[in-house]
Amino acid sequence: MKESELSLGKIDGVEAGAEDRLVNSGICTVMELAAALPAEIVEVVGGDVEGAAALISNARSYLTKKGLMLGEFVTASEIARRKKDVSFCSTGSIALDRLLGGGLETKAVTEFFGMFGSGKSQICHTASVMCQLPQERGGLGGSAIYIDTEGTFRVNRLSEIATARGLDQAEVLNHVLYCRAYDVQHLTAVVKSLGLHIRENSARLIVVDSVISLFRSEFIGRETLAERQQKLNGLMHRLHNLAEVYNVAVVITNQVQATPNTFFGDPNRPTGGHVLGHSSTYRVYLKKSGEERLAAMVDSPYHPYSEARFMIASAGCSDPDSTR
């Protein structure tokens, strides 16, 4: 689709002055307007929430007419047809891809949670390489955007994974756009501006590693919980909209917290409470088991509970030889 067809001027209710202000705030096209939250629009163009919601709704209707977004009510067969747009990015492990129903799904948010060293960041690094491969080799044929909140991104790990997989490491590094987010406000602003970067870099994968750490360190004490959850909810909402509007795969990582009153079973639970629980499309629990890693699909709209074994090697996330 031509860039001019996505200009904000195409949308009813967006006047010239408002268009300039939206563009200056990073909402440059109809795609970003459709993925925005009413409160963000109010902040930029003023007016009330209802007016902002109407602009967003007009943008969505426009994209629906162009066949880029689903309308409000559609038949199940239309959904099935649209499902054909969905692609999968390999995690690097055949077993883990199988657990995910084919890999990291576009138009969806996949959450990996687990203890330190369970392999969350390794999956993020491997997927950032894999997404660059053409579709017939398990990739999405696009770049990765890597948002790092913990400072654990390693360029040499990307190079190692690329080399072990027989890829040109310089090419691979050129197609990973990195951003270190330092606080919640910064992370929120970065996620707000993602639409532009997705388009400019032809990105097909967005990684947020981790989505929770900045919230956990900034919002301390029960009295801050409501505000924290509200901000986290806004961020997740935005990531979902971006996944849908741009047909990209979104991967987030999450930490665990131990529940002290568990007598039987695993005491580890994902952090982020109900907000993350409800907002990830797929939730995968990772656990170290000797040299191997165990992944369990704990929440999905249609996968049954299932488990897979994978390993971390020089090629990143991969399979123990026995399962190949």
Instruction: Please say which residue, 121 or 143, places its beta carbon nearer to ligand ATP.
Output: 121
Query: Can you tell me the distance from the alpha carbon of 72 to that of 10, in angstroms, rounded to the nearest whole number?
Result: 20
DSSP characters over 109-165: EEEEEESTTSSHHHHHHHHHHHTTS-GGGTS-SSEEEEEESSS---HHHHHHHHHHT
Nearest-CB residue to Mg ion? 121
Q: Per-residue x/- mask for Mg ion, residues 152 to 191, rule CB under 5 A?
A: x---------------------------------------
Residue 196 identity? L
Shortest separation between residue 121's beta carbon and Mg ion, angstroms:
3
The binder of ligand ATP chosen from 90, 122, 126, 169 (CB under 6 A): 122
Q: Do residues 110 and 249 make contact, with C-beta atoms less than 8 angstroms apart?
A: yes
Q: Do residues 96 and 317 make contact, with C-beta atoms less than 8 angstroms apart?
A: yes
Instruction: Please say which residue, 241 or 268, places its beta carbon nearer to ligand ATP.
Output: 268
What per-residue string of b and e applies to 32-42 under the rule 16 or more CB within 10 Å gives b? bbbbbbbebbb
Q: Per-residue x/- mask for Mg ion, residues 100 to 129, rule CB under 5 A?
A: --------------------xx--------
Paired residues of 292 in beta bridges: 289
Residue 119 engages ligand ATP in binding (rule: CB under 6 A): yes
Residue 213 engages Mg ion in binding (rule: CB under 5 A): no
Measured at the alpha carbon of residue 276, what is the angle toward residues 270 and 282, in degrees to the nearest 5? 85
Shortest separation between residue 122's beta carbon and ligand ATP, angstroms:
4
Residue 93 engages ligand ATP in binding (rule: CB under 6 A): no
Instruction: Please say which residue, 174 or 314, places its beta carbon nearer to ligand ATP.
Output: 314
Shortest separation between residue 317's beta carbon and Mg ion, angstroms:
13
Q: Per-residue x/- mask for ligand ATP, residues 123 to 162, rule CB under 6 A?
A: ---------------------------x-x-------x--
What per-residue string of b and e applies to 71-106 under the rule 16 or more CB within 10 Å gives b? eeeeeeeeeeeeeeeebbbbbbbbbbbebbeebbbb
| Sites of contact with ligand ATP (CB under 6 A) | 114, 116-122, 150, 152, 160, 312-314
